[in-house]
Amino acid sequence: MIDILMPRLSDTMEEGAIATWHKQPGDQVAIGDILVEIETDKATMEYEAYEAGILREILVPEGEQATIGMVIALLDDGKPASPSAAPVPDAEAPVADAGVPVPEPEVPTEASARVLATPLVRRLAREHAIDLAHIEGSGPGGRIVRADLDRLSVPQAAASVAQPTAPEPRGSDDARQSTAVPFDRTRQVISRRLTESAASVPHFTVASVAVVDDLLALRAELNARLDAAGRARISVNDLVVRACAIALTAFPGVNASYSPEGSGATLQHGRVNIGIAVASDAGLVVPVISDADRKPASQIAADSRRLAERAKERGLTADDMAGGTFTISNLGMFGVEQFTAIINPPEGAILAVGAAMEEPVVIDGAVEVRRRMRYTLSADHRIIDGALAAKFLAMLTDLLEHPLDIIA
């Protein structure tokens, strides 16, 4: 019998939710078959079978969560169990897998030790003081699953977030009442990670502005050529990505992360992998353009389109979102002039980019209209000082105002 374990599908994944089982107990499984779809903190990903056999039991049903290394199903490969093999653990206990860190198991309380329950159920029970010993489980082996809590009369037990108190309706025909929209898996992780970042990372921000008339003119000329060749058009953000890549190469202290090793250290990255924040139906995702410093703007444009399409279709892979060293969040397409962003851990900085707006500018004593674009760098003050951030922005501004240097 083979244990099917919850895999690590992204660098920040701690647990995953079963979205869809493509095989059911009794089904034949061949190597390479899509066994299950798993919703991680970043996307929904397909998990292939690496062994052949018959699926005997599903231990974590659809909609339930499991930590990395937990047994989620059993696959019968027809081989007799080794006499020395350890017994199949309870699905609640994480199982060590080579190269996969497994969280320390919870020390069960006297009440919880007598029942079987999924990790999500145990967390909800702790949050809402629910005694699991008095609940009959409907999952495999009598395990208590989320649906069992949903059947309770206590409203809080059916939600993973606290429900706000709705204001009293003014009349029975007033449909304008508050509606609670429970967080999905992606929104839960976004909430947790950004809360941790804002609370634990000492953010500071510096802002600058560039006159981008020449940049926009160059982009128009490049796109005319690309249109004629049938290639992907270049966006303003693609040029910003390229300019940031050049500036990060010049200032590797910004292309860095904080390391808690020893008394603390700055981990400077040898590669320039720039994440681009993308708003999708599933929430905010950050696919990564790898080695952006070694790619021309046209290749960055092609990579950006490919990643954006995958994000839209919820088809991003773990590799698409791994290894980021710096992130760019651009809201200029929505008309936003300026904003600040929260650092995407474990990176050390993020750039928030606004729209290019027409503004009056004094040039040689005369007032002229120019397009100016504002951007704000949020940085981790443990590893990046104000002077370094200012120098990085100064070079970025110079590149955006002299765009030939971006594509040279």
Q: What are φ and ψ of residue 10, in 5° steps?
A: -155, 160
- From the list 206, 204, 132, 128, the residue with the least C-alpha distance to 161 is 128
Token pair for residue 107?
């020390």
- The letter for the amino acid at 393 is L
Q: Please tell me the distance from the alpha carbon of residue 24 to that of residue 32, in angstroms, as a whole number.
A: 16
Token pair for residue 288?
């990564």
Q: Please tell me the distance from the alpha carbon of residue 381 to that of residue 37, in angstroms, as a whole number.
A: 39
Token pair for residue 146?
């989320």
Q: Please tell me the distance from the alpha carbon of residue 55 to that of residue 76, in angstroms, as a whole number.
A: 6
Q: Please tell me the distance from the alpha carbon of residue 122 to that of residue 134, in angstroms, as a whole number.
A: 13
Which pLDDT score is estimated for 42?
A: 65
Q: What are φ and ψ of residue 143, in 5° steps?
A: -65, 140
Specify whether the CB–CB gap between 211 and 370 falls below 8 A. Answer: yes
Specify whether the CB–CB gap between 354 and 192 falls below 8 A. Answer: no
Helix, strand, coil percentages in the chain from 3-state DSSP, rounded to 5:
30, 25, 45
- The letter for the amino acid at 188 is Q
Q: Please tell me the distance from the alpha carbon of residue 172 to that of residue 129, in angstroms, as a whole number.
A: 34
Average pLDDT, consecutive stretches of 10 residues, N- to C-terminus, the chain (408 residues) = 84 80 92 86 78 91 87 86 44 42 44 57 72 75 71 45 48 71 78 86 96 96 92 94 98 95 92 92 85 95 93 84 94 94 94 96 92 97 96 98 93
Specify whether the CB–CB gap between 346 and 339 falls below 8 A. Answer: no
Which pLDDT score is estimated for 328?
A: 97
pTM higher than 0.75: no
Which pLDDT score is estimated for 233?
A: 93
Specify whether the CB–CB gap between 22 and 53 falls below 8 A. Answer: no
On the 0-12 / 13-18 / 19+ scale of CB atoms within 10 A, 140 is middle
- CA–CA distance from 223 to each of 36, 231, 301 (Å)? 42, 9, 11
Q: Please tell me the distance from the alpha carbon of residue 401 to that of residue 164, in angstroms, as a whole number.
A: 49
Name the DSSP class of 399: H
Q: What domains can be seen in the chain, in order of their start residue?
A: 2-76 (2.40.50.100), 202-406 (3.30.559.10)
If you search the block for the tokens 């995953």, which residue do you land on?
16
Q: Please tell me the distance from the alpha carbon of residue 304 to that of residue 310, in angstroms, as a whole number.
A: 10
Q: Please tell me the distance from the alpha carbon of residue 333 to that of residue 357, in angstroms, as a whole number.
A: 11
Residues with catalytic roles? 381
Name the DSSP class of 375: E
Measure the CA angle with vertex 282, ends 41 and 163; round to 5°: 85
